[in-house]
Amino acid sequence: MTRRFINQDSTSNKFWNITVENKIQTIAFGKVGTKGRELVKEFSSDAECDLETHKLIHQKTKSGYIELGKDDDIPDKAELSEDETADIFFWESIKKSNKYRNANWQEYDADEHIESLTELLSKSGKQRLILFEKCLQEKLHELYKAEIAELNIILENDFKNENGVITFDESLSGDGFIYFRCWLLLKGKDFFEGLKTDINTFLSPDIDFNIGNCWAEGLLYVADEAYSINHEDQEDVIRDAVSELYPDTIHYDDPEEMNRDIEQGQGFQKRYPKLVEEIVSIRTNQ
């Protein structure tokens, strides 16, 4: 018995085949179009071999592999658009450069993350850096929403708590709001997508980080800094290239109007009761 699987997601084009003959299990795997590698394992019984085979198949399908029919050919993988390529490169760079992604977020340091990101990006060519910068500007614009501004205020602004009624100073710094959105982007794609849908996802139990410093200004300059490592005395080359090549890209410091007015005073507590309660509790006890 042989069963064949492929994974052709945005970053993968791999095959994984498993064959069982009595108590002998053979696995072939690798990149589509190559011979790949082969592993052979003998179990103590047919039943044990079948059980372990079913476990492996479950793990593979859970991780994104799709089973092919007996006579099906492996399909050609669809080519990614420039925007899809940029998106993958942007988020993978953010993820790979964050050494705290598998550690306690209380230890997280945005400046350290940005330094690591700069070093990683310095190994990329100019066109990749241009795509990274373009993607950065687009994602900062996607976060230019009243809901994100309100999250910024809840996390950072002065507030009064009088008999359980919480009133925030609703003033918002233009530059500070840019730096705050940079900080949000450094938390990764899943976090970013969740916030765009509902800022209450900030309270997810999977999210654990220090909210004492919610700015990451250095992300604005990371592509040009990365380029300058191998090209001395050249400033703003990447940002200038984005402006020239993609003139319709909305720059982060020249946004359109927000989707609605920002809440005022006690409006934050009314709109986000649980979020305000938990964040105020954290901030009061810091």
Are 130 and 241 within 8 A, CB to CB? Answer: yes
16 forms beta bridges with 5, 29
Are 7 and 64 within 8 A, CB to CB? Answer: yes
Residue ranges per structural domain of the chain: 2-68, 82-253+263-284
Return the SS3 of 201: helix
Look at residues 127, 161, 160, 94 and name the one whose alpha carbon lies nearest to residue 241. Answer: 127
How buried is residue 12: exposed, middle or buried, by Cβ count under 10 Å (0-12/13-18/19+)?
A: middle
29 forms beta bridges with 16, 37
CA angle, residues 246, 235, 187, in degrees to nearest 5 = 65
**How much is the pLDDT for 208?**
56
- Helix H segments across 3-81? 46-62
Are 74 and 32 within 8 A, CB to CB? Answer: yes
Q: What is the Cα–Cα distance from 220 to 179, expressed in whole angstroms?
A: 8
Look at residues 171, 179, 142, 196 and name the one whose alpha carbon lies nearest to residue 263. Answer: 171
Q: What is the Cα–Cα distance from 39 to 69, expressed in whole angstroms?
A: 22
Task: With both helix axes pointing from N to C terminus, report the angle between 82-96 and 110-121 in degrees, rounded to the nearest 10.
Answer: 130
**How much is the pLDDT for 79?**
74
Q: What is the Cα–Cα distance from 37 to 116, expressed in whole angstroms?
A: 33
CA distances (Å), 110 to each of 52, 205, 210, 214, 282, in order?
43, 21, 10, 9, 20
Containing 244, the helix (H) or strand (E) segment is helix 237-245
Q: pLDDT (tens digit, 0 to 9) for every residue of the chain, 286 residues total?
A: 899 999 987 668 899 999 999 999 999 999 998 999 999 999 999 999 999 999 999 999 988 899 999 889 888 777 778 888 889 899 999 999 998 766 555 677 899 999 999 999 999 999 999 999 999 999 999 999 999 999 999 999 999 999 999 999 999 999 999 999 999 999 999 999 999 999 998 887 665 566 778 999 999 999 999 999 998 777 789 999 999 999 887 777 766 788 999 999 999 999 999 999 999 988 888 6
Tens digits of residue pLDDT in 79-137:
778 888 889 899 999 999 998 766 555 677 899 999 999 999 999 999 999 999 999 99
Identify the DSSP state of 217.
G
CATH tag, 2-68: 2.20.140.10
